[in-house]
Amino acid sequence: MTQTASATPCLAKVPLDADRQAYALLIVHADRAIAPQPALRQVVEFESTPHGGFISAAQAHDGGWGYINEQGQWLVPPTLDNARGFTEDGVARFCRAGRWGYLNLLGQEVIAPQFDDARPLRNGLAAVKTGPHAWRIIDLQGQFTCAATFADLGNFGAVGLAPAQPWDPDRGLPLWGYVDHRGQ
């Protein structure tokens, strides 16, 4: 199969022993198979960058996470605790020193790691954990959109709503419903 240079890179998992316990990950792109050095343990789906390249979250063989380009070169070194793929908004979650933040398709931090946990940023909104049983809503700039706090808060969907679990102050029990960017 002939690929063009603009085709999204794909991965090939090549067994290195007969019982398939050890394997190598190869990046197949532009009619080439690239064996990243050092070897990679995992690679998330590649996304195109604004400059015509590609970027993907990847896990190094020692367990550290970072972001690589289509050549297997580190754009963000594998010094992260965790790294996730990109959303339609062009941002990805990452964790460094136990705190979650977001970066863009160029591998640049756009929201510094400051949250206990973070959901994907979709449709300009994300749920972030700011303390025990305390989830809040942020926008693409990392600003809180309201003062509301929830026991749990899910991903925002295409219609701008997220499943939320506020506390019923009268009974001291959690409730489930959906909220918009204002926490309503």
**pTM of this structure:** 0.88
Q: What is the pLDDT of residues 151-182, one digit of tens each?
A: 999 999 999 999 999 877 777 777 899 999 99
User: In the prediction, which pLDDT does 4 show?
Assistant: 43
User: In the prediction, which pLDDT does 53 show?
Assistant: 95
Both structure tokens of 80: 């992260």
User: In the prediction, which pLDDT does 127 show?
Assistant: 98
Instruction: Reply yes or no: is the peptide bond before residue 9 cis, omega within 30 of 0.
Output: no
| Positions in the chain whose pLDDT score sits under 70 | 1-6
Of the candidates 117, 124, 111, the one whose C-alpha atom is nearest the C-alpha of residue 160 is 124
Place of tokens 């063009």: 4
**Rounded Cα gap, residues 113 and 134, in angstroms:** 17
User: In the prediction, which pLDDT does 1 show?
Assistant: 37
Helix (H) or strand (E) holding 158: none
Of the candidates 45, 84, 78, 47, the one whose C-alpha atom is nearest the C-alpha of residue 63 is 78
User: In the prediction, which pLDDT does 3 show?
Assistant: 41
Both structure tokens of 119: 């959901």
User: In the prediction, which pLDDT does 175 show?
Assistant: 84
User: In the prediction, which pLDDT does 24 show?
Assistant: 86
**Rounded Cα gap, residues 174 and 169, in angstroms:** 9
Helix (H) or strand (E) holding 164: strand 162-165
